[in-house]
Structure 1
Amino acid sequence: MKLELIRNTCVVACALSLVAGCSSYPEEGKGGMGEYTATSEFSPVLPDEPLGPEHGLRFDFHLTQLHLDSLIQQGAEWCFPASVVQAKTKENRIARELEGGLLVDAANDIVIQRKNLGLLERRLDYVTNEAECVPPEHNLAFQSEVSVINQLVEILNVDNQFAVNSVEINPKYMGNLAEAANILKQYQHLNLRVTGHADASGTQSYNDTLAMGRAKQVERYLTIFGLSPTRIQTLSVGETLPLFEGDSPGVKLTNRRVSIDIVSTKSQGGGNAQY
């Protein structure tokens, strides 16, 4: 009996020591991917040491920082505030991943950030050909609008994955569309740009059609919930702008989606500004 008790005690002690030795839980306030704020001491430049993959990633990250800063200087923060907020959030996330040694996650997010910044740059070029992106006269009202835009972006761009070869929307996302439609009824100057996406399973032409079908299905439900179809623009990019790179079932599921941008028709600086 004593021998059995000693044996059981040893097994428990060994198990506890293994858990303590193998676990790598972050300290409080150091949540890695769970947090989207970079620490003040983070630097994209590493001290002198043998070159490794993290050096290249930090260099790429620094280039994306410079790209975003340049777009902000050109007025992106005023023409597309929600996109800038999302880019800054992604930037902080990448910094956290690099700081925590999550190199694969950081590499993936840097690729996504590059694509998003490229898209933002093209949109900014288009808008600035027609109007000037300048700070609004009534900044308090502007900040309030940014808050509403951020809320809509968050509601409309989560949990909208589609099944394989399907345009049907899952019930949870329908609730998000209904909530967004109710908010948009109060802000008649805010319109939507709905872009459909597909995973890389089919041919390019088939994926373009499938992605457009998803965008049109979102438009259909938004109109059912009371939003005028004249306030909704639908686009398709097929498989060309995946949210994540890879061909695993989980990645493909995430890439079957729509992305939705908010467009403001308010006049600003004598022209029509878009957000």
Structure 2
Amino acid sequence: MANLTIKNVSVSMLAATVIGCTSYPDHGQGGLGEFASASDFSPVMPDEPMGPEHGLRFDFHLAKLHLDSLIQKGAEWCFPAAVVQAKTKENRIVRELEGQLLLDAANDIVIQRKNLAKLENQLDYVRSQASCVPPEHNAAFQNEVAVITELVELLNIDNQFAIDSIEINPKYMGHLAKATTLLNQYPNLNLRVTGHADVTGDAQYNDKLAMGRADQVKRYLTVFGLPPMRIQTLSVGDTLPLFEGESAATKLTNRRVSIDVVSTSSTGGNQ
């Protein structure tokens, strides 16, 4: 998702930026986080005084090594959707660290490490029953990975909901319709929809609001033609913000659903 650092701008420019903000630009137009490469990002900062960024870079490096080790064990063959989403998160953290967005990076590193621990447990169980090896029909597998990547991009954009509302932004509604068309071509791909709220309001209210947002997304996906049994919904209230802070732009981004793609195919394993 987009993370825009806005300084010394007029109120009108801020409003225009927030309204026009999306996580995924048009193809070929660059990116603000998810499309960055982490391959040349160094966790070492030898020429600078020690500070909080050093610790975050070290934590990021540990998470990166963890993901690399899971891939070496075959995670991308048994759990392709989880690996695609972990790589997306990894690239996002790189951009946050490079942009000195330390609170955001710290939050994403915590989420990444929790997801990797879950993936490791799933992988260990699957490997105790079978092998995670490249599928025989590799072209079909690569096509599935490309579809998963497209779905992740479609479904996890900014500016999904208005304040204190479960009503879906019309642009996001269009993304849900397009995603449904794709998903109906790949019946082995399901969705896990997690509702979120910003920090406004108490915990109980925010949990209910976040669940309403997840259920509303499920409702529209069903209206567009996706069978309801392929959609799992849950709420985490305001406990896992995408960004820390209480600015209008931050709250806008934190009012969201996060959607994971779950592959149940023989080539992709069970996730």
TM over 0.5: yes
Shift of 1:153: 1.0
Shift of 1:251: 1.0
Instruction: Choose from 96, 99, 109 the match for 2:105.
Output: 109
Partner of 1:7: none
Instruction: Choose from 104, 114, 121 the match for 1:118.
Output: 114
**Cα displacement string for residues 120-170 of structure 1 (whole angstroms, at most 9, x for unaligned residues):** 422542464366561323222111100011111111111352122211101
Partner of 1:86: 85
- CA distance in 2 between partners of 1:48 and 1:254 (Å): 35
Does the CA contact (< 8 Å) of 1:87 and 1:117 recur in 2?
no
**What amino acid sits opposite 1:134 in the alignment?**
C
Shift of 1:106: 4.6
- CA distance in 2 between partners of 1:74 and 1:241 (Å): 29
Partner of 2:14: none
**Cα displacement string for residues 168-188 of structure 1 (whole angstroms, at most 9, x for unaligned residues):** 101111100110111111111
Does the CA contact (< 8 Å) of 1:76 and 1:133 recur in 2?
no
Between 144-153 and 120-129, the greater mean CA deviation after superposition: 120-129
- CA distance in 2 between partners of 1:128 and 1:39 (Å): 26
Verify: 1:162 aligned to 2:161, yes or no.
yes
- CA distance in 1 between partners of 2:175 and 2:142 (Å): 23
Partner of 1:188: 187
Cα 1:92/1:226, change in 2 over 3 Å: closer
**What amino acid sits opposite 1:151 in the alignment?**
E
**What amino acid sits opposite 1:121 in the alignment?**
A
TM-score, normalised on structure 2?
0.76
- CA distance in 1 between partners of 2:212 and 2:247 (Å): 23
**What amino acid sits opposite 1:113 in the alignment?**
I
Verify: 1:37 aligned to 2:52, yes or no.
no
- CA distance in 2 between partners of 1:56 and 1:240 (Å): 23
Q: Secondary structure of 1:267's match?
A: coil
Shift of 1:83: 3.4
Between the aligned residues of both structures, percent identity stands at 63
**What amino acid sits opposite 1:163 in the alignment?**
A
Question: What RMSD over aligned residues (CA atoms) do the two structures have, in Å?
Answer: 2.7
Which of these two proteins has the greater Rg computed from alpha carbons?
A: 1
Partner of 1:201: 200
Does the CA contact (< 8 Å) of 1:162 and 1:256 recur in 2?
yes
Partner of 2:174: 175
Does the CA contact (< 8 Å) of 2:189 and 2:262 recur in 1?
yes
- CA distance in 1 between partners of 2:213 and 2:225 (Å): 19
**What amino acid sits opposite 1:207 in the alignment?**
N
**What amino acid sits opposite 1:224 in the alignment?**
V
- CA distance in 2 between partners of 1:38 and 1:67 (Å): 14
Between 253-262 and 152-161, the greater mean CA deviation after superposition: 152-161
Partner of 1:20: none
Q: Secondary structure of 2:185's match?
A: coil
**Cα displacement string for residues 8-47 of structure 1 (whole angstroms, at most 9, x for unaligned residues):** xxxxxxxxxxxxxxxxxxxxxxx9957612464x422223
Partner of 2:144: 145
Shift of 1:214: 0.6
User: Which runs of 5 or more residues in structure 1 are unaligned?
Assistant: 1-30
Does the CA contact (< 8 Å) of 1:204 and 1:239 recur in 2?
yes
- CA distance in 2 between partners of 1:81 and 1:53 (Å): 33
Partner of 2:24: none
**What amino acid sits opposite 2:71 in the alignment?**
I
**What amino acid sits opposite 2:125 in the alignment?**
N
- CA distance in 1 between partners of 2:55 and 2:265 (Å): 42
- CA distance in 1 between partners of 2:168 and 2:120 (Å): 31
Partner of 1:8: none
Partner of 2:212: 213
Verify: 1:134 aligned to 2:132, yes or no.
yes
- CA distance in 1 between partners of 2:31 and 2:160 (Å): 25
Cα 1:95/1:236, change in 2 over 3 Å: closer
Does the CA contact (< 8 Å) of 1:243 and 1:254 recur in 2?
yes
Shift of 1:107: 4.6
Shift of 1:97: 5.3
- CA distance in 1 between partners of 2:207 and 2:123 (Å): 25
- CA distance in 2 between partners of 1:132 and 1:253 (Å): 44
User: Which runs of 5 or more residues in structure 2 are unaligned?
Assistant: 1-29
